[in-house]
Amino acid sequence: MLVVYDSLAGRYSDNPRALYERRFRSSPRDTHTWLCDPAHAAGFPADVATVPHGTTEAVAALEAADLVIANTHIDLDWAKKPGSVYLQTWHGTPLKRLHNDVLWAPEGKLADLDRDVARWDYLLSPNTVSTPRLRDAFGFDGAILETGYPRNDVLSSPNAPALRAQVRAALGIADDVTAVLYTPTWRDDEFYADGTPIVELALDLDAFVREMGPGYVLLPRLHYLITSQAEPVQHEGVIDVSRYPDVHELYLAADLMITDYSSTMFDFAITGKPLLFFAYDLENYRDSLRGFYFDLEQMAPGPVLRTSEQVLAALQDLDGLRATYRRSYRKFQKRFAHLDDGHAGDRLQWVYDQSSRQPQLTVQD
């Protein structure tokens, strides 16, 4: 069986990586090929077979695959062969409206992406809340497998403390330094603007370094769509991790997170570490640009802040923040992380049906 993987348009990460490493890599009967963005080739292990994303080789691999595993739209022109199975894992619990539900999209974009949705056979869901929203947003009438996300199993793994230490050492973060992961999402109007403008961080980096001092380090990680539209941050007290292969390892390395509307909030909440929301453009993003499925201000397990000054003040009172949001944090975890028990990968079961010559996927109770 030939299995072809694509994560975030050519990275070695996320649910495809978790499924590959946990289930498929050790199978001697299968062949594995990853689509690889050359800009992120360094993130792939040396023994992983790759083809360059967006090339004729990538199309050929997809068209030969018995099983395709991806975590976002494969925006390439390829024909799925008869009998091939496409597992779409997606890449996050949606706060932001998706696909058919968005408030704005460039003309023709959703129709282009619908061609990929039409190829899907299975779609993973991270939780009960997301299942109907994913189905409706994509107009998907196939099987939805409500397993939780295999990528998050590492956050509850017995190896988590060792991996945290390993990642921090690789990044040069001392044990006594508080690491603040900053994960702003992308803005549709920035991404699709003419001229590919340079995207800059909204958080005041000078103020962060001045107010927080050497005991803190900021780890900014831009959304994968925006990485190429921003210069790598080179600033005292800041380590740009936008090109770090897998964000889930950064969740372990960090001591708290600042985000805005990114789905990283739902994954990071599994760790129980503090969350802050720097929502400097809340009204525009919620009411005009994208839209939300939930009321962020009502459900957020941390403060929703509008200015860098407010963010820095909150960072200096983490004990108070934990006490204030303890109840809402537990409620948030119960609602969105009820399947994040370290066994999502185990719940996803598949067998190769010899009669139909197709992989069959199910959820184990």
Whether residue 82 is predicted with pLDDT greater than 70 in this model: the reply is yes
| pTM for this model (two decimals) | 0.95
Q: What is the mean pLDDT of the chain?
A: 94
Of 87-101, 127-141, 227-241, 336-350, give the lowest mean pLDDT range: 227-241
pLDDT at 360: 86
Residues 183-190 have a mean pLDDT of 89
**Residues 107-119, buried b or exposed e (16+ Cβ, 10 A)?**
eeeeeebeebbeb
Q: Which of helix, strand or coil describes residue 148?
A: coil
Place 233 in a pLDDT band, splitting at 50, 70 and 90: confident
Whether residue 197 is predicted with pLDDT greater than 70 in this model: the reply is no
Residues 299-312 have a mean pLDDT of 98
* Structure confidence by residue, pLDDT tens digits, 95-142: 999 999 999 999 999 999 999 999 999 999 999 999 999 999 999 999
Beta bridge partners of 146: 125
CA pair distance 296, 276, nearest whole angstrom: 12
Whether residue 17 is predicted with pLDDT greater than 70 in this model: the reply is yes
pLDDT at 288: 94
Place 188 in a pLDDT band, splitting at 50, 70 and 90: confident
pLDDT at 198: 74
Residues 145-171 have a mean pLDDT of 97
DSSP 331-351: HHHHHH-TT-SS-HHHHEEEE
CA atoms within 13 A on the CB side of 117: 19
Are the CB atoms for 58 and 10 separated by under 8 Å?
no
Whether residue 219 is predicted with pLDDT greater than 70 in this model: the reply is yes
Per the listing, tokens 């001092």 go with 213
* Domains of the chain with bracketed CATH: 2-152+342-363 (3.40.50.11820), 158-336 (3.40.50.12580)
pLDDT at 194: 75
Whether residue 87 is predicted with pLDDT greater than 70 in this model: the reply is yes
Are the CB atoms for 266 and 190 separated by under 8 Å?
no
A 10 A CB-CB count for 139 gives 11
DSSP letter assigned to residue 109? H
**What percentage of the chain reaches a pLDDT higher than 90?**
86
Place 94 in a pLDDT band, splitting at 50, 70 and 90: very high
Query: Which residues of the chain form beta strands (DSSP E)?
Result: 2-6, 31-36, 50-52, 67-70, 85-88, 122-125, 143-146, 178-183, 216-220, 234-235, 238-239, 256-259, 275-278, 304-305, 348-353, 358-363
pLDDT at 46: 95
